[in-house]
Structure formats: structure tokens, C-alpha cells
A and B are shown apart, each in its own frame.
Chain A
């Protein structure tokens, strides 16, 4: 078996919650040794939000989101609120290539772990800092949370039904977007370091990562002064384009006809109904003008059909279409099963569960490290004794003193 892509790379992972951990999870599944630094003194919020057992003890190893975002990593307990803890953190950095953190701006500096200091400990180190608003600017210290960032970035404002107040995107979006953007940045910095030997500090703001994906609305405002509102499932100028009811409760199919060829295919799929030949639907512009009526015709066809069958019929004629999937649909879809995006990993407390793997496949050498998520502090002995050469007495003392905690 060939070496993994990032074999030999070590990451000191101070990050928590979502964006940072997603980035470091990918680094781990790409082959890096990721040392997640965490503590009972201040657990990752996703661990902290876990259910409790009968005695009221938090079940830190059983939180779904934590596990989904932290597989393939090593977990080492380290209490960063104590100077001895900081000293150990520095030792971990000294043997690492990459440092990842997403604390509030200034936290690493206050702990004596600024980039300037870490650079001395490990020349060539690459440090990645992600945060709600970035390392600089008037709002740099602001408390942020994924959904609040989505609201600040404007993406919530342009998500909603046409003519109605904004609703916002459902579920976390800025977090994974930031984590994936951060990952691209880390790989780029690593690439540069292979050539020059130099490390650097990356600064990524969640707001900026999100706004970078809204150019249509942003440019329309900058160029034409238009402050866009929600547009539902519409795409200006395209019809049919939207979601349509299918057989069953709250069951929908998405259909997007983008050009003349797809419109012809759409008509064929529906058996060339008479209404489709009416003058008001002959070209894209008139279809857009008459889209409300057009949608009625479309839904008359979809509403009694099974959503998968409707997709098959449409796709046979080259029409972009597909059911609205919920999480179960995604996990159970035969196409998704064959693609193998989901990986089953066992877990000592939870048993086997599905995790999300790499959304890219390499041919011919697809290779990834998929290992179960770590229990809290599971690898403390390995990290401190094997990697840092700590003896047993010191280890036991630090555990007692709640430094390794």
C-alpha cells in the first residue's frame, strides 16, 4: 500500500467545535498525524453538549457532531489554563509541522503561543488561525457562532421565498465552508514549504470565506446598486426551475431546465403534451414570463409520480432533476452507496456508525486513513511518553495535578 499523501506531517491541533476540526480531520484522513489538544477543564463544545448519564456525568465520547468531525485524530489531554500546560503545548508544537487554532482573536497570544513565539520553537511551522471576523479589525474580538456568522455575511438575507422576509440557510454552512477553505490554504502553505522550507501564518475569517461565495449578489450591489432579497428556488430567466410536489407527504423533486436542448428533452419526457407547444412556452424568455402557469403544468405531471421515477424519466431525456433528499435519503441512496462517500467506523461506546469520508476520489491511487474518533485523552500516554519522552513519574504527577486533564 502506498504511503498516504501527508504521511510524516504532524499537526498540533488546538482547534475546536467545527471549522478548525473539519480542516484537521481532513489532514488526518489524508495521512497526517493530528494531535488534538483538549481538556476536561474546557472541553470542545461539541463534547460538552453531549447527553449525560444517569449520574449526570457528561458522555463526552458520545456526541455525534464531535465524532463526525474528529475521527482519525489522536486525543491528548492538556489543561491550557496552567503554565505547565502551556509548556507542554510548546513541546508538542516543537515537534509539529502545522498548528491549527480557532480560538477568539488574541487567545493564542495571551497563552504565549503566538505565531512569533511558535516560529522560534519550530522554524518553518505553518500556523492557521480561523475565527469569525479574522485576526484584525474592530470586530476581531467579537463572539461568533456559525449561524450568527451566516446572518452577518448576508447569505441569510438572500435565502427565503420571493417577496417574503428572509429565512436563512438551514443548518451550519459557514463553519464547513470555512474549514474546507482553511484546508485549501494549509495544503497550499505546505506545498510552498516543500519548495522553500519557510512556514507562515494563515488568517481566515468565516465572514470573508462566506461572502467570497456570494459574488452574484455582492457585485449586483456594487455595480448596479441593487440590494438583493430572497429569490426562492428561482434562477432569473429560467423556467421550469424549482421544486415540485411528488406523490406522498411533503415529497418533492427539483427540476432545472437551463437551455433549449433541455426544454426539448423535458417536453419529450412528458410525452410532448399539447400545452408545451403553446406560444407562451416556445422560448426561454416567454417561459420565464409565464413561469407560474408553467409550474402548474409541471406539478400536474409530478404530483402523482414517485419522485425517483420522475427523476429517471426526466434524466433519460437529459433534464437536470432529482428528488429533494433528507439525510436518510442521502445515506440510503443506491448511487451514494456505490460512491462510497460514507465510511463505517466502529466506536467503543457507540458501536458502528456512518461517517463522511473524502468528497473527492483519486484514480488510480485513492487512499485515506479512516480511523474511529478518539476518546478524550485516549492518546495522552503515547503523545507525552512516546513522542515527548516523558517518564512515568512525571506523567503521573501531571495527571494528579490536573495538567494532563
Chain B
């Protein structure tokens, strides 16, 4: 077990998707004891999700599963059986926090609703991540990362600078950003409940909606509507923002992303480009003019930036404190010397996946060394330890339960 600021917290996680699994991971990363409950034989549905080495599916070789379940203890338990449900209820007595992202209907079937659980354990923090929350007309509706992303407002503004809305449909960001945001939001909510418990003296349900997690990221969209009364439009009409002029600029060997806010920042940028003649034209005289005349400015800029190698252009801009950074591919960022210097990618040894490199948690605490702890559990790997030490079962009990298909 690793050390960390949450090393005295005990968490039980029963999750079928990324949101609940990632929430549990965040606690495990910070040193909490996280017991992950999986169905026997098949385990968590995420064991079927790659990337797998060579794309060969294997319940014990999903790299995503290994990343998301680092440093957790893993047990198997058949919740369809009433014996399994009894054991699970006893297990919950050990925990301060329970995390789940299973649907209400499933929780009801297994007698694990918050009403039932909190009646038995009034001090428990019961964190439930659901598609649309526990209240409201959509409370029973279903979701996925795609749906949550597009119902948050982010899909409408992605990509930016749309020229032809018909040819450029609303777009989801790469990966599963809504799912991870929901897991992170639930982790914060659970800690908020921990502190709330100090003053109320009782546990709480933490109701997290997968739709709302990304909405809460997206305040500028709300701001434009709520404050300025403007309805957002996807079609940019070729303009850029005068407040923060930002663009992708092509170089010899890739591209960079630059941002210029103040006029004098632009002046410094123009110096980097060698003071091209067009930079003195009236139509580009201040940030409002440049924003309005972006269509004319863009090709002129590109002609200049294409003369540079991207790292060189970045270095020259950074010398003048202009926020300009390379537009990285995944291989670029994985090979970033900055991330290497920060030891962001760590190698762990997993029993079946072998040596695998993966990101550490981004939070660095001076009070505890950043260690990866133990690799993600094999299916049922910690049955003996958890059932014996936490629940006081004996070897014979374990054998009988296994025989009966309960674990």
C-alpha cells in the first residue's frame, strides 16, 4: 500500500464504468485503502476494454484497467446471491466511503440503495454517479460519455471556428472527457461530504450527475448567455477573439499554438517574426482590428511561421514571454522532456501485463513521496486477505463460498 494524504481513509468501490472506477483510483492514488468489488469469473466490464498489447483481449491484460485500478485491492463477490449481498453489506461497515456508478435499478435489485445502506450505516459517505442525477425529469435516463459531452454544451463549441456547420457537426473531444470529469467531480463531492460529516455528525449521499460534471467546467459558455444574453453560434464567420487571439500556426515540422492578449505582446511577437512589412498595416493596428481582419491576417502569418521549426519558434516566443507552445501529438507529449524531468510516466510491474509505463497522478504532495503503490489487482487477488482480515472469515468459509459461487 502506498502512503499519501488519504492513507487513513477506507473506500469500497463497486463500479462498472470509467466514472466510478476513476473516482476510486483518485482515492487509491492518494494512499486510501480502496477495496474494489468485482463479479466472479468475468470481473469488471472494463477488463474487456483496451488498449491490449497487440490488440488481443485478455481479462488480465487491459492496460486501461491496470491504469484505472492501480493500488486497489480486488475481491470477487456475486451480488446476485443473497449470501453475496449479506457479505457486501458487512463490507460496507468497514468503509468511510462507498463509490458506485451502477444504475438505480441494479442497486435496487441488490438491496444496495442509499436508503437501505444509510439506514444500516448512517455514517457512511455514499457516492453515486448517475447519468443525470437522482432528481429531475431525466433521472431515470441513460447516458454514455458521448451523450454527457454533447449535453454539457462542450459539443456545441467543439470544434471552435466552424466555417460550415453542416459539414462540421458538433464534435466530442478525444477520449472520454465527460467520464473522467464525472469521476473527479465525485471524488471532490465525497471529500466535501467527509468534511460535512464533521459538522453534521452523519453520513451523506453524494449525488453526482455525469451531465453536470462537464457543465461545471464550461462556465464561459454560460457566462456569454447568462451575462451578455448572447445565444452561442457555432459558425465563427472567420473572426477571432480580440481578448485572446489564439491560433494554430504551421511550421516546417509541425505546428504551434500561440495566444496573444495585450497589444504589446503582439508587438513582441511581430519582432520574433522579423517585423514583416504587413505588421505595420492599418488593418492590423490593434487587437480589435486584427480580430476583425483575421481572414486576411492568417495567410500572412502562416507564410512567416512556416519558415521556422516549431521548437525554435516556441523558444523565441518564450524568450519574449509570449504563450506559444508546440501542438503535440500523443507521441510528442509522451516523449516530452518536461514530463520526463518531472517523472510523470512511471514504470510498474504487473503480474500478467509485465512492465508497463503509465502516467502517475498529477498531484504532487511535499508531505509524501509520489509512489505508485501496488499494481492493479488480478481478479479476486485479495479475496483471502480481505475476507479473512476485514470480515473475519476463515479458510473453510472461503472454500464454501467459492464452492457456492458467492465469491
CA gap between A154 and B326 in the complex, in Å: 10
Could you tell me if B338 and A139 are in contact, using CB atoms closer than 8 angstroms?
Answer: yes
Does chain A have a CB within 8 A of B199? yes
CA gap between A346 and B155 in the complex, in Å: 30
Does chain A have a CB within 8 A of B365? yes
Does chain A have a CB within 8 A of B147? yes
Chain B residues with CB under 8 Å of A208's CB are 339, 342, 344, 359, 362
Our count of residue pairs bridging A and B at CB distance below 8 angstroms stands at 485
- Contacting B217 at CB < 8 Å: which of A6, A177, A212, A219? A177
When C-beta atoms are compared, the residue in chain A nearest to B167 turns out to be A161
Does chain A have a CB within 8 A of B186? yes
When C-beta atoms are compared, the residue in chain B nearest to A139 turns out to be B338
Q: A219-B67, A230-B174 are in contact. Are A326 and B231 (CB under 8 A)?
A: yes
Chain A proximity of B164: nearest CB distance (Å) = 10
Does chain A have a CB within 8 A of B331? yes
Chain B proximity of A140: nearest CB distance (Å) = 8
Could you tell me if A228 and B174 are in contact, using CB atoms closer than 8 angstroms?
Answer: yes
Chain A residues with CB under 8 Å of B372's CB are none
Could you tell me if A213 and B257 are in contact, using CB atoms closer than 8 angstroms?
Answer: no
Does chain B have a CB within 8 A of A169? yes
Chain B proximity of A68: nearest CB distance (Å) = 4
Chain A residues with CB under 8 Å of B307's CB are none
Total residues of chain B contacting the partner, CB 8 A = 146
Q: Size range of the interface on A?
A: 35 or more
Chain B residues with CB under 8 Å of A250's CB are 165-166, 234-235
Binary B-proximity of A281-324 (CB < 8 A = 1, otherwise 0):
00000000000000000000000000000000001001111111
Chain B residues with CB under 8 Å of A3's CB are 199
Does chain B have a CB within 8 A of A92? no
Chain A residues with CB under 8 Å of B227's CB are 64, 67-68, 350, 353
CA gap between A255 and B328 in the complex, in Å: 30
Could you tell me if B325 and A152 are in contact, using CB atoms closer than 8 angstroms?
Answer: yes
Does chain A have a CB within 8 A of B188? yes
- Contacting B192 at CB < 8 Å: which of A115, A150, A187? A187
Does chain A have a CB within 8 A of B177? yes
CA gap between A195 and B227 in the complex, in Å: 43
Does chain B have a CB within 8 A of A389? no
Chain B proximity of A128: nearest CB distance (Å) = 10
Chain A proximity of B328: nearest CB distance (Å) = 5
Chain B residues with CB under 8 Å of A148's CB are 246, 257-259, 323-325
Could you tell me if B168 and A188 are in contact, using CB atoms closer than 8 angstroms?
Answer: no
Binary B-proximity of A221-240 (CB < 8 A = 1, otherwise 0):
11110011011110100000
Chain A residues with CB under 8 Å of B342's CB are 134, 136-137, 205, 208
Top-3 shortest CB links A-B = A158-B174, A360-B189, A167-B159
Q: Which residues of B contact A (CB under 8 A)?
A: 4-6, 8-9, 26, 30, 50-55, 63-64, 67-68, 114, 131-138, 141-147, 149-160, 165-166, 168-177, 180-181, 184-189, 191-196, 198-200, 202, 204-209, 212-213, 215-228, 231-232, 234-235, 243-244, 246, 248, 256-259, 261, 317-318, 321-334, 336-339, 341-342, 344-345, 356-359, 361-368
- Could you list 7 examples of A-B contacts with CB < 8 Å? A133-B338, A152-B327, A157-B327, A211-B344, A233-B169, A322-B143, A338-B135
Identify 19 new A-B residue pairs, CB closer than 8 A, beyond the known A188-B191, A208-B339, A320-B131. A2-B196, A5-B195, A64-B226, A115-B366, A150-B257, A154-B329, A157-B328, A159-B173, A187-B194, A190-B195, A217-B330, A221-B331, A232-B171, A258-B144, A324-B150, A327-B224, A328-B232, A360-B208, A365-B202
